[in-house]
Amino acid sequence: MVKISIRLFQLFSLSAFSFFLSSCTPRETNVEIGNRTQVLHRGQGPALADLDPHLATGTTDYNVLSALFEGLVGEHPEDLSPVPGMALRWEGTPDGMSYTFHLRHDAMWSNGDSLTAHDFVASWQRVLTPSLGADYANLLYVLAGAEAFHKGVSGDFSSVGVKALDNHTLQVNLEFPAPYFLSLLQHWMWFPVHLKSIEAVGDPYSRSTGWARPETMVSNGPFVLESWQNQERIIVRKNSTYWDAQAVRLEAIHFHPFEGVDTEERAFRSGQIHLTDALPISKIEAYRQTNPEVLRIDPYLGTYFFRINTRVPALADQRLRAALSHSIDREAIVNLVLRGGQIPAASLTPAGTAGYEPPAGLTYDLDKARELLAAAGFPGGEGAPEIELLFNTSETHRLVAEALQEMWRRDLGVTIRLHNMENKTVLESRRQGDYQMLRSVWIADYADPSSFLDVFRSTSGNNYTGWADVEYDDLLFRVSRTTDPQQRFAMLRQAEARLLDQAAVIPLYTFTHVFVKSPSVRGWHPTLLDHHPYKAVWLKSP
């Protein structure tokens, strides 16, 4: 009995010692495991509402969708110039009004079906079908007859300028010459979808057909959707049927959502993610001083601005809106609050976009602001309505909102009530027009001023302000039919001057992308649209 008891004691002691050793051994982080297994962990900011590319509305959507889908053209990882995607090659007519795309014979869907020119025709018809309510459907108005079909003027889709000549040849005719057309094709609204798999779930032309789930999604990009945990964390896995699968070095990507940038930054420091979507303002200087090799401040073709709901009676007066705009000290917000190299915005379109210089635009002029406020009937802010400013939860958004709140209280006597909600709820409020003033961002869909200014056409699905102006619409219509660059830019300046004068939007600053990235992430180049083709990305232990 004694010998047995001693033996049991020895075994127990050895087991306990082994447990102690294993519990003291540091566990590998996501980043360490990912570097070894080629699994990228990316912070994506707020959780996404949908993975249907034709219903997507934001740049963070593109970060995921570009892994799952590919259009006719792809992007060069360093300068985003058009490169072959689903189309092996293409040619355009000298007048820029027609293109012929030759699709790859080895192009496939993730379920093994062949991807054909007919899939693009069917997908673009889906985008333009009114019942879908695609917010970005107007991007397809460059196609001949697309606007008429989308607005119900024509019920015959064969009148739209896209036709499958055979399984591998797609002919596209434009409504007007668009020098940016090939770059426009990288936008998610032009991605093909697999209609048969959507039809197996429900109506492909309804917003409520929830087909974009791991068990039902069929896609054609370098990765496939493996899981979407609790509608939050998204995991995509390398797609073996992708035409260029041998060039894809990553085995998987995990997209980690974070409602707050502080939480995201802590996840980076603890090794949960390789890179963040953003960085708290309070941490920028610390990284500059102690860890500059992971800090990135990249150029970014986008503008941070505020939409004003002109349908709200209290904000229907242009003078009140303009007073709010002219009383903002943008230099102070950029230099004292943000401190990330952002540029104060005197216009909606960033200066230098494709060689365009916007009009003189907005000025910080308190005297003018006070005169406008008095003319609107609120001298010194007396009797001015309280205005609600809505923004999605974020440290940066709150700091900016608080700075504006204080400026407007101190300098105009106008009271601003701050209201923050999670991003999904904010997007729905925007869609329903249920807001007064809304923090907004516009990142260019392609490098041309029209990408910014077309947003506020009266017919744009992304306008959301209720502001409509016949002269503005007419100027942009004429811009789209003008090929001379100088004439085109002159009319764009006229249109933008009118938009700024009406103050349906209040630009604040031009972006830089401030984030942190592990040195192990390779093939990640600074680009103006912050696009990073994943098949060019790979991981290497530092």
Helices (H) and strands (E) in the chain, counts: 17, 18
What's the token pair of residue 133?
A: 């309510």
Mean pLDDT of all residues in the chain?
92
CA 423 – CA 439 distance, rounded (Å): 11
pLDDT for residue 298 is more than 70: yes
Q: Give yes or no for a contact between 193 and 151, defined as CB atoms under 8 angstroms apart.
A: no
What's the token pair of residue 142?
A: 């460059």
Are 101 and 168 in the same domain?
Answer: yes
CA 114 – CA 100 distance, rounded (Å): 20
Q: Give yes or no for a contact between 162 and 123, defined as CB atoms under 8 angstroms apart.
A: no
Q: Give yes or no for a contact between 209 and 198, defined as CB atoms under 8 angstroms apart.
A: yes
Look at residue 481 and tell me if it is in a domain: yes
List the domain range (segments joined by +) for residue 341. Answer: 299-514
Are 506 and 523 in the same domain?
Answer: no
Q: Give yes or no for a contact between 228 and 540, defined as CB atoms under 8 angstroms apart.
A: no
Q: Could you tell me where the DSSP H helices lie in 390-449?
A: 395-412, 423-432
Q: pLDDT digit string (tens) for 240-297?
A: 999 999 999 999 999 999 988 899 999 999 999 999 999 998 899 999 999 999 999 9
For residues 18 and 25, which has the higher predicted lDDT (pLDDT)? 25
Look at residue 472 and tell me if it is in a domain: yes
Burial annotation 463-498 (CB, 10 A radius, 16+ → b, else e): bbbbbebeebbebbeebbebeeeeebbebbbbbbbb
Most confident of 161-175, 450-464, 474-488: 161-175
Q: For position 20, what pLDDT does the model report?
A: 40
pLDDT for residue 423 is more than 50: yes
Are 319 and 185 in the same domain?
Answer: no
Are 509 and 527 in the same domain?
Answer: no
Q: Give yes or no for a contact between 507 and 345, defined as CB atoms under 8 angstroms apart.
A: yes
Give, as one character, the DSSP assignment of residue 393.
S
Q: For a pLDDT cut of 90, what percent of the chain falls above it?
A: 80
Q: Model confidence at 484, in pLDDT bands (50, 70, 90)?
A: confident
Are 304 and 223 in the same domain?
Answer: no
CA 258 – CA 271 distance, rounded (Å): 15
Domain of 114, CATH number, reads 3.40.190.10
84 Cβ contact list (under 8 Å, min separation 6): 73, 74
CA 401 – CA 391 distance, rounded (Å): 8
87-92 sheet: strands from edge to edge: 87-92, 98-103, 169-173, 162-166
Look at residue 28 and tell me if it is in a domain: no
Look at residue 402 and tell me if it is in a domain: yes
104 Cβ contact list (under 8 Å, min separation 6): 86, 87, 88, 168, 243
Look at residue 64 and tell me if it is in a domain: yes
pLDDT for residue 22 is more than 60: no
pLDDT for residue 425 is more than 70: yes
Q: Give yes or no for a contact between 372 and 326, defined as CB atoms under 8 angstroms apart.
A: yes
Q: For a pLDDT cut of 70, what percent of the chain falls above it?
A: 95
Q: Could you tell me where the DSSP H helices lie in 237-277?
A: 261-269
Q: Which of 483, 410, 399 is nearest to 177 (CA)?
A: 483
Q: Model confidence at 505, in pLDDT bands (50, 70, 90)?
A: very high
What's the token pair of residue 150?
A: 């989308």
Q: For position 10, what pLDDT does the model report?
A: 45
pLDDT for residue 19 is more than 70: no
Q: Give yes or no for a contact between 103 and 88, defined as CB atoms under 8 angstroms apart.
A: yes
Q: For position 12, what pLDDT does the model report?
A: 39
Using CA atoms, how far residue 189 sits from 123, 128, 437, 462, 527, in Å, is 9, 10, 27, 13, 20
Look at residue 214 and tell me if it is in a domain: yes
Are 199 and 338 in the same domain?
Answer: no
Q: For position 139, what pLDDT does the model report?
A: 92
Are 346 and 483 in the same domain?
Answer: yes
Q: Give, rounded to a whole angstrom, the gap between the first and last alpha carbons of the chain.
A: 56
Tell me the average pLDDT across 212-217: 95
How many distinct structural domains can be found in the chain? 2
pLDDT for residue 1 is more than 50: no
Q: With 0-12 CB in 10 A as exposed, 13-18 as middle and 19+ as buried, what is 71?
A: buried
Are 82 and 226 in the same domain?
Answer: yes
Are 176 and 50 in the same domain?
Answer: yes
Are 402 and 521 in the same domain?
Answer: no
pLDDT for residue 504 is more than 50: yes
Are 241 and 386 in the same domain?
Answer: no
pLDDT for residue 7 is more than 60: no
pLDDT for residue 9 is more than 50: no
Tell me the average pLDDT across 127-152: 94
Are 392 and 499 in the same domain?
Answer: yes
Look at residue 277 and tell me if it is in a domain: no
Q: For position 25, what pLDDT does the model report?
A: 54
Tell me the average pLDDT across 354-371: 91
pLDDT for residue 2 is more than 50: no
For residues 362 and 146, which has the higher predicted lDDT (pLDDT)? 146
Alpha carbon 394 to its chain centroid, in Å, reads: 17
Q: pLDDT digit string (tens) for 111-123?
A: 999 999 999 999 9
Q: For position 220, what pLDDT does the model report?
A: 98
Using CA atoms, how far residue 256 sits from 42, 263, 267, 422, 500, in Å, is 6, 11, 10, 16, 37
Q: For position 320, what pLDDT does the model report?
A: 97
Domain of 471, CATH number, reads 3.10.105.10
Tell me the average pLDDT across 172-189: 93
Q: For position 15, what pLDDT does the model report?
A: 44
Amino acid making up residue 282 = S
Q: Give yes or no for a contact between 30 and 271, defined as CB atoms under 8 angstroms apart.
A: yes
Q: CB atoms < 10 A from the CB of 200, how many?
A: 12
Q: For position 17, what pLDDT does the model report?
A: 40
Q: CB atoms < 10 A from the CB of 16, how many?
A: 10
Look at residue 281 and tell me if it is in a domain: no
The CA angle 486-487-490, to the nearest 5 degrees, is 85
